[in-house]
């Protein structure tokens, strides 16, 4: 296969999914060593004997392979860079996603809580200052998303002018593969429908760099913030210009200041496993450290708490909240999600007086995603909210997760991940999370406030392809 796609090749011709940690951007470092300075193609395109398999989290939707600039960016988010910043004496803070700790839990045969505590021990032994939990920032994201949805829904029931501003269905924004595709391929028509709320990764990044650093007596530039994620596209998300802010320089007298990223680096679950193996650590034998409660969803008894839903629980949380706030309906127990096309496309409906008043969906995987996008474009989508994830089975099955054991079927691994994910987790309403409530009280004020919009929300932009790229694919 050539370094760029044939003009006759369409996305529909490609396989929908790359299994966890299957190589695409994984082998960039070796490739650079062989051909320094040369833009690299994805490693899967070199394997001529195998069918082409490209997923959204590996394909940058840029009409070509990974660019040299993106290669350099990914190199800056490597294990070497992580260890280098520890050695430089930076205050390194790690934020761990629940999907990553689940992936490591299944690999080691431990519970997610045990992994969290042992990983805290391991990382602090290396010199990490604190290990936090992105379940905390996910709760902030859920609260802001609920608030944004209620505002849009009410507009949709108003005057014609208000209806034009509602932009329903509201599409979730936490998946960087989906956002990348939307910006680079779908143009401006789809972007107004996407939630403005940042992902949990960027939300905890903003919290650490704007608030927690002050509590620690540090300046934002003194902190090197690393997240552990199930997805390689989180590296691209962290590098977005939208997630960089300016602070006054302590070292110069000019007014230019320093540009500080909310997240300095992203490591995947698989890369953390590589680090454990690199240090020849008997992980299961490590002692369990107490967790850093400053930004961790943990109660007084030491139990983690969170929400159902292996990709963040957006559709379920928004549906429950909207049903209560808009129609006075409380749902106890599990929601009855109905499978539409497959297990990756499900919906839940609220009817009042025989009329459907609220309809939400889970939409995972590129093929399902395309169906939603097509209906939105034709103005025939009857959902009010859609939780969109690029990976089939959602974030637990992200490309950065630990690989299946030799001979282990991928479906078996996914089932194990889904079973273990909620172990040790107490289901709790994000609005009643005492830690999140304290963050609003002392910093963000209230959901949807000006401070919340400044720190917890963002904008998305259509990406115009270069003329050269377009001509190349003619």
pLDDT in tens, 149-189: 999 999 988 877 777 777 899 999 999 989 988 998 887 88
Tokens (6 digits) for 27: 């082998």
Quick one: pLDDT at residue 117? 96
- Per CATH, the homologous superfamily of domain 142-198+307-432 is Fe-only Hydrogenase (Larger Subunit); Chain L, domain 3 (3.40.950.10)
Pairing of strands 355-364, 345-352: antiparallel
Cα 143 from Cα 132, distance rounded (Å): 19
Span 347-369, mean pLDDT?
93
Q: Which is higher by pLDDT, 100 or 246?
A: 100
Task: Give the list of residues 6+ apart from residue 28 with CB closer than 8 angstroms, or none.
Answer: 40, 66, 71, 74, 75
* φ/ψ bin of 170: left (φ > 0), alpha (ψ from -120 to 50), beta (otherwise): beta
Cα 460 from Cα 188, distance rounded (Å): 9
Q: Are 222 and 91 in contact (CB under 8 A)?
A: yes
pLDDT in tens, 286-333: 999 999 999 999 988 888 889 989 899 999 999 999 999 999 999 888
Cα 1 from Cα 64, distance rounded (Å): 12
CA 361 to chain centre: 18
* Helix, strand or coil, per DSSP, at residue 246: strand
Place of tokens 């042992």: 118
pLDDT in tens, 210-242: 999 999 999 999 999 999 999 988 998 998 889
* Average pLDDT score, the chain: 83
Nearest-5° angle of CA 277, CA 281, CA 283? 100
Task: Give the list of residues 6+ apart from residue 52 with CB closer than 8 angstroms, or none.
Answer: 1, 14, 15, 44, 45
Written as one string, the DSSP assignment of 149-216 is HHHHHHHHTS-HHHHHHH-SSEE----HHHHHHIIIII-TTTGGGB--BPPHHHHHHHHIIIIIHHHT
Res. 96: pLDDT tops 80: yes
Helices 98-108 and 134-156 sit at what angle, rounded to 10 degrees? 130
pTM of the model: 0.85
Tokens (6 digits) for 404: 């299946």
Span 391-404, mean pLDDT?
92
Res. 345: pLDDT tops 50: yes
């Amino acid at each position: 296969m050539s370094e760029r796609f044939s003009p006759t090749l369409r996305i529909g011709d490609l396989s929908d999914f790359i299994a966890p940690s299957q190589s695409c951007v994984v082998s960039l470092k070796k490739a650079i060593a062989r051909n320094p300075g040369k833009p690299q193609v994805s490693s899967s395109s070199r394997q001529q004997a195998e069918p082409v398999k490209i997923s959204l989290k590996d394909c940058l939707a840029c009409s070509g392979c990974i660019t040299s600039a993106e290669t350099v960016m990914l190199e800056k988010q490597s294990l070497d860079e992580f260890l280098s910043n520890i050695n430089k004496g930076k205050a390194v803070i790690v934020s761990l996603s629940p999907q990553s700790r689940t992936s490591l839990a299944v690999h080691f045969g431990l519970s997610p809580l045990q992994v969290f505590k042992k990983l805290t021990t391991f990382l602090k032994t290396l010199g990490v200052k604190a290990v936090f939990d992105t379940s905390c920032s996910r709760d902030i994201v859920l609260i802001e998303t609920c608030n944004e949805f209620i505002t849009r829904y009410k507009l949709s029931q108003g005057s014609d002018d208000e209806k034009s501003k509602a932009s329903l269905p509201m599409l979730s924004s936490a998946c960087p593969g989906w956002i990348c595709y939307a910006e680079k391929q779908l143009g401006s028509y789809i972007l107004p429908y996407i939630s403005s709320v940042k992902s949990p990764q960027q939300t905890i990044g903003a919290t650490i760099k704007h608030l927690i650093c002050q509590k620690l007596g540090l300046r934002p530039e003194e902190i090197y913030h690393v997240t552990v994620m199930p997805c390689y596209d989180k590296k691209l998300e962290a590098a977005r210009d939208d997630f960089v802010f300016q602070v006054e320089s302590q070292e110069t007298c000019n007014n230019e200041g320093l540009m500080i990223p909310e997240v300095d680096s992203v490591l995947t679950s698989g890369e953390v496993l590589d680090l454990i193996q690199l240090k020849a650590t008997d992980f299961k034998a490590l002692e369990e450290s107490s967790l850093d409660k400053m930004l961790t969803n943990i109660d007084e008894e030491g139990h983690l708490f969170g929400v159902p839903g292996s990709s963040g629980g957006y559709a379920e949380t928004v549906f429950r909240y909207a049903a209560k706030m808009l129609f006075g309906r409380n749902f106890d127990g599990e929601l009855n999600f109905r499978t539409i096309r497959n297990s990756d496309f499900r919906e839940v409906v609220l009817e009042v007086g025989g009329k459907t008043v609220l309809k939400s969906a889970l939409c995972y995987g590129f093929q399902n995603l395309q169906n939603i996008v097509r209906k939105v474009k034709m103005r025939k989508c009857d959902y009010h909210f859609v939780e969109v994830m690029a990976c089939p089975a959602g974030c637990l099955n992200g490309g950065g997760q630990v690989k299946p054991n030799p001979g282990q079927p991928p479906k078996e691994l996914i089932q194990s991940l889904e079973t273990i994910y909620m172990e040790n987790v107490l289901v709790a309403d994000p609005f009643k999370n005492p830690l999140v409530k304290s963050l609003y009280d002392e910093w963000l004020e209230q959901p949807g406030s000006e401070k919340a919009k400044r720190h917890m929300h963002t904008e998305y932009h259509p990406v115009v392809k270069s003329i050269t790229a377009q001509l190349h694919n003619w």
